[in-house]
């Protein structure tokens, strides 16, 4: 097993400034690698300065035993907002900045988790120095600048269409807004919780889905095509891809000639909490956990519940608190945001978890979390973590069709023996992947000459 290796991770940054599955995963594997005796470093896209435009790398702080560095004046980080001005995402910098940084730290392997904020020169510097570069596919940024291949009409994009891309991205954040979001004061306010407090106080009456059907994009098409080529050049210089699911592998291989393997992911809080469940109650208790966003399938599962007339099927939703309660049927209950510590209680009161995403979701930790408690899962066939259901031994994989979901839920309520079989299979045969085992898998790919 690899020890005393010098490993550099590139990710979005540290919590609470950065949150989400990508941040959680990258921090957890770095912490585990550090515990096992490796020298682990984190590089992230830091502040954009107003007066000094020179790109540099500066020490940020230590996070446990992880030495953290920030790129000062990185490329912009659009998150899910899209790219309105492609030209500012393709700026170049001096490659020597990265060469000197990598040599100084004696980096032996680089593990990238996103291209957001990253200069192409970083990849080229690794190439020049012969440093192996791996990439975990948490999102589709670089293939889709809106990250999730979910268009402005609320549909999953099965093919990249430049005309649609231009419309989607015209609502991207302005250069000024991105400057504020990557400024030092904003980061410090976010880290102390002030920004989140402001967001909670703000009443959100509008949907995040912007209507742009009748608007013509002012983005230069040639410039956008050039941006796609820019990211393609970065991608083809990656040595090996760690696809977190068959879904991401299929999407990436559709657009790129690359090599890699499917390597399922986990995080440090995943433990083996599996228990046999009692399915004698007449009521079927369904749980949905996550953002109440259209692309995550929230609207879809609400429509499913509207098709179900019996009160013996109940849906419990744990997610955003901004949902209009008047749009949900009587068989659906909104509980607001939840804390990770509440999962045990939530899953005790869950017969089956639904993961109804209508976009090509790269993975989905919630599936793994449910299985770790012995809870069967009904997943859309567009969700990457469907791979974990082992050809429907631990749950169902369905096309995201409203009537199909409704019929299956009614069927399970009338006869819970199928759920009992799923639960028994999970408890008796599912190996819950923990972070230590996963990191051991990563070492194989770090060391192997693939």
What whole-number percentage of the chain has pLDDT above 90? 79
Give the residue-averaged pLDDT of 167-172. Answer: 88
In this model, does residue 352 exceed pLDDT 60? yes
Q: What CA–CA distance (Å, rounded) separates 75 from 78?
A: 10
The pLDDT of residue 215: 47
Task: Give all domains of the chain, ordered by start, each with its CATH number.
Answer: 6-268+437-447 (3.40.50.2000), 284-429 (3.40.50.2000)
Question: What's the average model confidence in pLDDT over 280-292?
Answer: 96
| Structure tokens, 100 | 């000197």
* R_g of the chain computed on alpha carbons: 22
- DSSP letters along 97-109, please? HHHHHHHHHT--E
Reduced to 3 states (helix: H, G, I; strand: E, B; else coil), residue 399 is: coil
Q: Is 23:57 a contact under the CB 8 Å cutoff?
A: no
205: pLDDT strictly greater than 60: no
Range of lowest pLDDT (66-75, 101-110, 202-211, 410-419): 202-211
Confidence (pLDDT) at 213 = 47
- Neighbouring residues of 406: CB distance < 8 A, sequence distance ≥ 6: 304, 307, 308
């Amino acid at each position: 097993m690899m020890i005393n290796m010098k490993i550099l991770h590139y990710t979005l940054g540290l919590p609470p400034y950065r949150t989400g599955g990508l941040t959680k995963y990258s921090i957890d594997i770095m912490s585990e690698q550090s515990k096992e005796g490796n020298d682990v470093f984190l590089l992230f896209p830091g502040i954009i300065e107003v007066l000094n435009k020179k790109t540099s790398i500066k020490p940020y702080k230590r996070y446990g035993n992880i030495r953290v560095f920030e790129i000062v004046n990185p490329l912009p980080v659009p998150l899910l907002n899209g790219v309105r001005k492609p030209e500012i995402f393709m700026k170049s910098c001096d490659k020597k900045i990265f060469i000197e940084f990598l040599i100084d730290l004696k980096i032996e392997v680089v593990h990238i988790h996103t291209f957001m904020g990253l200069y192409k020169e970083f990849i080229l510097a690794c190439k020049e120095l012969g440093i192996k570069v791996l990439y975990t596919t948490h999102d589709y940024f670089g293939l889709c600048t809106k990250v999730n291949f979910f268009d402005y009409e609320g549909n999953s994009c099965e093919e990249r269409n430049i005309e649609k891309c231009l419309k989607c991205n015209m609502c991207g954040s302005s250069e000024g807004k991105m400057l504020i979001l990557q400024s030092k004061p904003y980061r410090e306010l976010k880290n102390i919780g002030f920004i989140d407090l402001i967001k909670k106080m703000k009443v959100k009456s509008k949907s995040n889905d912007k209507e742009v059907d009748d608007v013509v994009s002012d983005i230069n098409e040639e410039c956008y095509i050039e941006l796609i080529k820019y990211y393609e050049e970065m991608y083809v210089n990656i040595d090996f891809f760690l696809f977190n699911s068959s879904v991401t592998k299929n999407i990436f291989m559709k657009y790129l000639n690359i090599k890699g393997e499917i390597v399922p992911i986990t995080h440090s809080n995943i433990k083996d909490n599996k228990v046999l469940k009692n399915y004698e109650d007449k009521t079927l208790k369904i749980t949905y956990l996550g953002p109440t966003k259209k692309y995550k399938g929230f609207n879809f599962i609400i429509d499913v519940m509207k098709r179900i007339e019996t009160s013996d099927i109940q849906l419990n939703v744990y997610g955003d608190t901004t949902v209009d309660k008047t749009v949900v049927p009587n068989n659906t209950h909104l509980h607001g945001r939840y804390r990770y510590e509440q999962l045990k209680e939530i899953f005790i009161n869950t017969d089956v978890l639904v993961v109804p995403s209508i976009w090509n979701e790269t993975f989905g930790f919630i599936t793994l979390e449910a299985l770790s408690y012995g809870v069967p899962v009904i997943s859309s066939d567009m969700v990457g973590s469907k791979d974990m259901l082992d050809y429907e031994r631990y749950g169902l994989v369905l096309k995201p069709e409203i009537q199909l979901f409704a019929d299956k839920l009614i069927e399970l309520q009338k006869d819970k023996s199928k759920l009992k079989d799923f639960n028994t299979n999970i408890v008796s045969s599912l190996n819950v992947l923990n972070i230590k085992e996963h990191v051991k898998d990563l070492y194989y790919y770090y060391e192997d000459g693939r």
